[in-house]
Amino acid sequence: MTELVLITREGCCLCEGLEEKLAALALPFSRLDVDADPQLLARFDLEVPVLLLREAGQERQLPRVSPRLPAAQLRAWLEGQGVA
């Protein structure tokens, strides 16, 4: 099963915008706060928002997506990345 994970930060407008778009697309995803986990903070501190794709014990960081990408194009982009 494929899981989409959003690495985010409270108060980050780019994170909030991407989260809103994902929710509007009704795509299932989990949300992790980068500041709540020292390992995530060390790995992604200045890179949030980050999208990860987890499948069969493997994890892949998706390329950075433009915050200006409209929701319909975001859906197509995610499909191209292997997100159903």
Confidence of residue 2 (pLDDT cuts 50, 70, 90): confident
C-beta neighbour count of 15 within 10 angstroms: 21
Q: Per-residue confidence at 6, pLDDT binned at 50, 70, 90?
A: very high
Q: Structure pTM?
A: 0.92
Sheet holding 58-61, edge to edge: 30-33, 2-8, 50-55, 58-61
Mean pLDDT of the chain: 93
Tell me the mean pLDDT in the region 36-48: 96
Determine the Cα–Cα distance for residues 58 and 14; give it in Å rounded to an integer: 26
Residues whose CB is less than 8 angstroms from the CB of residue 59 and which lie 6 or more positions away in sequence, other chains included: 52, 53
Q: What sign does the CA torsion over 80, 26, 1, 5 have?
A: positive
Q: Which CATH architecture has domain 2-80?
A: 3-Layer(aba) Sandwich (3.40)
Q: What's the Rg (C-alpha) of the chain?
A: 12
